Structure 1
Amino acid sequence: MRVLVLGATGYIGSRLVPHLLEHGYDVVAASSSPPRPDRFGWDDRVRAIRCDVTDPAAVGEAVEDVDAVVYLVHSLDRSDFSDRDRVAAETVAAAVAASGVRRLVYLSGLVPDVPEAELSTHIASRLEVERILLAAIDGSVALRAGVVIGAGSTSFEIIRQVATLFLVQPVPKWMQSSVQPVAVSDVLRAVDDALTDESLSGAIDLGGPDVIAYPDLLQVCGRAAGLARLRVPVPVAPPGLVGLAAALTTTAPFHTVTSLIESLRHDMVCRPGHTWKPSHGTPPIGLEDAVGRAMTPMYAGPEGALPSDPSWTRTHALLAVVPLPAVGKAAAHLAFHRVRSILTGG
């Protein structure tokens, strides 16, 4: 099967491409930036191309002679992400519908069980894109994932930085909602199943075996790092203010952080009867195991860090050997990132 991966150089894509190769797929890796296979360690089995998903001509050419498309494109680092993601989804859906593509797999986000008017802008956009892509062809699948556990994952890295930086962690009352994290290894397995199992269709939820409140997730990350932290309930804390504080105290892109924080006020758990179950192999990885892998230096599996991960997720090599406590290293990492951003204009 020849698979076109749109958004191949993002976090999931950088791990999915080698996973697909290992499982015998013919892979076309597409990204909006110029192809740089060497950055990701891809060999000549991967055909790397440049493709702007809002350009009908480019997308039409990219989907030629492929059997399946995996859509991993999200624009959370932009203030106008909803508009751009809508245009991109409509462009890809039209191209796929006019081609010979048999399967279309979209990595979406868990949708809380609340009226749509109450959804965050981030989740509402994911749902809109999902509906556009599911309507493209009969063989379309939307895999809805919540917090993806793995070094380099945006949601996980934000949680890890907060858990490390603050000795005392204020927890707003509205952040006591539940989340069902999933290890990135299981996301890759689910994509593989969605590509080959024709019985899978529509929206399918991805989650690990553990359902946990956000403050407890912070505790799991702190415990894996060997850190003792105190979480203090805060009765009044507007989501906008919390998002701003998190954006200023982590190294993640500003719009990404504020958009994700807005989604924390609802339970993000899988729907009974609509949850992915592995077609073969072991059950989904437990939370403690997944976090342990993600926080183990030089871990070689998908949960481990890769040199191609965004620079904001990586601690400077010098800080790894400086004799500072964890909170000091976290603060130094944040300061180093801020200075580098100013000097580079990014």
Structure 2
Amino acid sequence: MRCLVTGATGYIGGRLAPRLLAQGHTVRCLVRRASRLRDVPWAAQTEIVEADLRRPETLPAAFDGVDVAYYLVHSLGTAGFEAAERESAANFAAAARAAGVRRIVYLGGPEPAAGGKVPSPHLRSRAEVGRILLASGVPTAVLRAAVVIGSGSASFEMLRHLTERLPVMVTPRWVHNRIQPIAVRDVLGYLVGCATLPPQVNRAFDVGGPDVLTFVDMMQRYARVAGLRGRVVLPVRALTPSLSSHWVGLITPVPSSIARPLVESLIQEAVAGEHDIARYVPDPPGGLTGFDRAVELALVKIRNAEVETRWSTASGPDAPAEPLPSDPEWSGGTVYTDVREQVVAAPPAALWWVVEGVGGEHGWYSFPLAWSARGWLDRLVGGVGLRRGRRDPHHLRVGEALDFWRVEQLVPGELLLLRAEMRLPGRAWLELRVEPVEGGGSRYAQRAIFLPRGLAGHAYWNSLLPFHAIVFGGMARNIARTARRRTPRGCTVHAAEHPTDRA
């Protein structure tokens, strides 16, 4: 089928497109600026059409020949978003009907309960968009989901950062409302499955995971999965949605303009009233993904320090729910890095000779007292310290100890990745790279990576910031200087060979 995906530069659309491709569908992406998909690897397999849902004259080319059209856009965080979403949905519906589209699929929010609290503007707008599409004359499937659990989802990022940064928190009463979260992989499974619904199906479906929880439950269970201590939650009646959203905007990287409608939506309980979608799109063989497992998948990227997302892992049954290049900058949790580079007037082989020799009797090429003090401090708290040294003064192997590091990856002549084994409020890596430079010489690239755990992790990294220039900056400069001064005999061999092997 030929599928049109709107919102391909957004959270859900950016994950749906490669899954549709994997199922053998032809994908066309409707975007306002094609340049936003320039660095997305799967985009080369799609057709990209520039159009604007608020300018109906731009839409016919995008809808021409389309079988299934996905409506995955919203104006959350912009002024007057209700009117903007109403206009966009009406234009989308008209263009789909005129082009003879056979199916519309829309991902919306939970239906406000009848007789309940006045729905938030966000939920009210989501429901209105669904009604416009259902009345379009094109068979439409509206999927109504509450909180989507996956790295990059605004709701999940709000949950993640509140839980990680606040071991004790003052909360409003709405944190005790019931919510039925759903893993992003299950949402995407339903979206893909809806492409082949029978033509007579024109209705909304509630979609949710197997767990019904309160927001407090989700914070405590997130903490447990992330290896944090249980959080202390103190409810306070006086916290209005407006005050809560400002607090969320201060503590988390989610912008207040997005946090406010999300917080307002949580005032309404969001529990699925039916599971009729399973009659048309069966649940996965192992069942829908539970909350804890969804969080584990969202944290895979963080725990593995995969700072660059691999989209190719996104379509498999065990794919992590990690960020994509098209996600907002605040997606994916906190990854602190310190990056240093030096251009070295020495062959790559000479530079690699120094890199592979770090640690042990050679030391770490900067501020020896600081490294020694860190080693003693680690031993005082029960860590390994620097006492392990290294097995061989010149050669390393994957898996062996190197002072308070462990060699996690080794590409001779190119890459040394060390995983920290000292006691830390988080996880840390040190990446050392050697690259040839056109015209001679080489480039030394050094990156320290730290994934904080809880508030202590953030405090730890920020407390050491004043010393980074001395420790990490000095290390990069001195490794480069040593490579220039101590070029061993035989350094002109191929970089993959260790220079001392030819000395």
Fold shared by both chains (TM-score > 0.5): yes
Q: Which of structures 1 and 2 has the larger relative contact order (alpha carbons within 8 angstroms, sep 6+)?
A: 1
Q: Counterpart of 2:454?
A: 326
- Aligned-pair CA distance for 1:310: 1.2
* More off after superposition, 144-153 vs 218-227: 218-227
Q: Counterpart of 2:367?
A: none
Q: C-alpha distance in 2, partners of 1:26/1:13?
A: 15
Q: Counterpart of 2:232?
A: 230
Tell me whether 1:80 sits opposite 2:92 in the alignment: no
- Aligned-pair CA distance for 1:33: 2.4
TM-score between both structures, scaled by the size of structure 2: 0.63
Q: Counterpart of 1:141?
A: 141
Q: Counterpart of 2:269?
A: 267
Q: C-alpha distance in 1, partners of 2:116/2:452?
A: 46
Q: Flag the structure with larger Rg.
A: 2
Aligned partner letter, 1:242: S
Q: C-alpha distance in 2, partners of 1:60/1:117?
A: 40
Structure 2 CA distance for partners of 1:250 and 1:276, relative to 1, 3 Å: farther
- Aligned-pair CA distance for 1:238: 1.5
Query: What is the number of residues matched between the two proteins?
Result: 334
Structure 2 CA distance for partners of 1:308 and 1:333, relative to 1, 3 Å: farther
Q: C-alpha distance in 2, partners of 1:18/1:197?
A: 20
Tell me whether 1:279 sits opposite 2:282 in the alignment: yes
Structure 2 CA distance for partners of 1:42 and 1:322, relative to 1, 3 Å: closer
Amino-acid identity (%): 37
Q: C-alpha distance in 2, partners of 1:65/1:207?
A: 33
| Aligned pairs for 1:54-203 within 5 A | 54-115=54-115, 118-198=118-198, 200-203=201-204
Q: C-alpha distance in 1, partners of 2:116/2:91?
A: 24
* More off after superposition, 297-306 vs 280-289: 297-306
Tell me whether 1:258 sits opposite 2:277 in the alignment: no
Q: C-alpha distance in 2, partners of 1:89/1:309?
A: 23
1:303 pairs with 321, 332, 335, which one? Answer: 321
Aligned partner letter, 1:256: I
Aligned partner letter, 1:326: G
- Aligned-pair CA distance for 1:59: 1.6
Q: Counterpart of 1:344?
A: none
TM-score between both structures, scaled by the size of structure 1: 0.90
Q: C-alpha distance in 2, partners of 1:232/1:221?
A: 18
Q: Given that residues 206 and 276 in structure 1 are in contact (C-alpha distance below 8 angstroms), is that contact kept between their aligned partners in structure 2?
A: no
Structure 2 CA distance for partners of 1:26 and 1:325, relative to 1, 3 Å: closer
Aligned partner letter, 1:295: L
Q: Counterpart of 2:211?
A: 210
Q: Given that residues 134 and 202 in structure 1 are in contact (C-alpha distance below 8 angstroms), is that contact kept between their aligned partners in structure 2?
A: yes
State the Cα deviation string for residues 15-64 of structure 1 (Å, max 9, x = none): 10000000010000122223444422115321122221111011222111
- Aligned-pair CA distance for 1:280: 5.9
Aligned partner letter, 2:72: L
* More off after superposition, 134-143 vs 5-14: 134-143
- Aligned-pair CA distance for 1:67: 0.8
Aligned partner letter, 1:202: R
Q: Counterpart of 1:338?
A: none
For 2:244, what is the secondary structure of its paired residue?
helix
Structure 2 CA distance for partners of 1:224 and 1:211, relative to 1, 3 Å: same
Aligned partner letter, 2:282: S
Q: Given that residues 204 and 276 in structure 1 are in contact (C-alpha distance below 8 angstroms), is that contact kept between their aligned partners in structure 2?
A: no
- Unaligned residue ranges in structure 2 (runs of 5+): 314-318, 339-427, 429-448, 463-503
Q: Given that residues 31 and 52 in structure 2 are in contact (C-alpha distance below 8 angstroms), is that contact kept between their aligned partners in structure 1?
A: yes
- Aligned-pair CA distance for 1:124: 0.2
Q: Given that residues 75 and 85 in structure 1 are in contact (C-alpha distance below 8 angstroms), is that contact kept between their aligned partners in structure 2?
A: yes
Q: C-alpha distance in 1, partners of 2:458/2:30?
A: 34
Q: C-alpha distance in 2, partners of 1:171/1:151?
A: 23
Q: Given that residues 79 and 255 in structure 1 are in contact (C-alpha distance below 8 angstroms), is that contact kept between their aligned partners in structure 2?
A: no
Q: C-alpha distance in 1, partners of 2:127/2:158?
A: 23
State the Cα deviation string for residues 149-187 of structure 1 (Å, max 9, x = none): 110111111111111111102222232111111111111
- Aligned-pair CA distance for 1:129: 0.7
Aligned partner letter, 2:141: V
Structure 2 CA distance for partners of 1:311 and 1:273, relative to 1, 3 Å: closer
- Aligned-pair CA distance for 1:87: 0.9
Structure 2 CA distance for partners of 1:138 and 1:116, relative to 1, 3 Å: farther
RMSD: 2.3
Q: Given that residues 162 and 250 in structure 1 are in contact (C-alpha distance below 8 angstroms), is that contact kept between their aligned partners in structure 2?
A: yes
- Aligned-pair CA distance for 1:329: 4.7
Q: Counterpart of 2:491?
A: none
For 2:12, what is the secondary structure of its paired residue?
helix
- Unaligned residue ranges in structure 1 (runs of 5+): 335-346
| Aligned pairs for 1:38-57 within 5 A | 38-57=38-57
* More off after superposition, 245-254 vs 67-76: 245-254
* More off after superposition, 41-50 vs 23-32: 41-50
Q: C-alpha distance in 2, partners of 1:331/1:69?
A: 47
Of Structure 1 and Structure 2, which has the larger fraction of its residues in helix? Answer: 1
- Aligned-pair CA distance for 1:80: 1.7
